[in-house]
Amino acid sequence: MDRAVNPRHNHIVVAIVDGDFTVKRLYQRAGRIKLKAANPTYRDIEPKDGQTIEVWGVVTSSIKQFPV
């Protein structure tokens, strides 16, 4: 994750929503934002009045380990 990268539409971001961390794809359209889940098991997040959302950084790489 890189906190120096400006988050833009379609970036995968680490965000804090009401004090909880989440990793989701950022959608920005017509002045509105949405945090979209890649996994259909999880809900998308559209900020509501009074809800606190802070984008911490943009995901720039991932490491995947396999069982040995």
Q: What's the pLDDT score for residue 68? A: 84
Q: Report d(CA 29, CA 23) in Å as an integer.
A: 19
Domain boundaries defined on the chain: 12-58
Q: What's the pLDDT score for residue 46? A: 93
Q: What's the pLDDT score for residue 35? A: 97
Q: Give, for 59, the enclosing helix (H) or strand (E).
A: none
What topology does CATH give the domain 12-58?
Umud Fragment, subunit A (2.10.109)
Q: Report d(CA 60, CA 11) in Å as an integer.
A: 9
Tens digit of pLDDT for each residue in 27-41?
Answer: 999 888 999 999 999
**Which residue's entry shows tokens 């040995």?**
68
Q: What's the pLDDT score for residue 10? A: 97
How long a stretch of residues is the chain?
Answer: 68
Token duo for residue 65: 């380990």
What is this structure's pTM?
Answer: 0.83
Sign of CA dihedral 37, 41, 42, 44: positive
Residue 15 pLDDT > 90, yes or no?
yes
pLDDT-derived band at 51, boundaries 50, 70, 90: confident
